[in-house]
Amino acid sequence: KNEVEQSPQNLTAQEGEFITINCSYSVGISALHWLQQHPGGGIVSLFMLSSGKKKHGRLIATINIQEKHSSLHITASHPRDSAVYICAVRWSGGSYIPTFGRGTSLIVHP
């Protein structure tokens, strides 16, 4: 069974810290998504990656296709970054049903 593993499961940080969330997957993919969900809130797409690196404000997402690994970095973290971050992959081979990681719960303290 194709799998997506996220780490860590829970993360606590102080405001201003640099944060890294990891996502590993088992076989080839055509796309990887990073999603954000605030407590009690909706789900928002942060990035979609198929190679390389993308940056949006303080958020950076990278992917290493050979190592089957992606990272989401948050620079200068802020309490408003407190949320669950979810990795989702679209497997190569034509499947249009993504597999989701279990999510990383991030709390940033002021």
Partner 1 sequence: NAGVTQTPKFRVLKTGQSMTLLCAQDMNHEYMYWYRQDPGMGLRLIHYSVGEGTTAKGEVPDGYNVSRLKKQNFLLGLESAAPSQTSVYFCASSNQGWNTEAFFGQGTRLTVV
Angle formed at CA 61 by CA 36 and CA 90, multiple of 5 degrees: 70
Q: Cα separation of 73 and 109, whole Å?
A: 17
On whether the CB atoms of residues 63 and 50 are closer than 8 A, the answer is yes
Binding status of residue 65 toward partner 1 by CB under 8 A: no
Query: Is the Cβ of residue 87 or residue 108 nearer to partner 1 in the bound state?
Result: 87
Binding status of residue 33 toward partner 1 by CB under 8 A: yes
Query: Is the Cβ of residue 80 or residue 97 nearer to partner 1 in the bound state?
Result: 97
Which residues would be at the binding site for partner 1 (CB under 8 A)? 30-31, 33, 35, 41-45, 48, 86, 88, 90, 95-98, 100-103
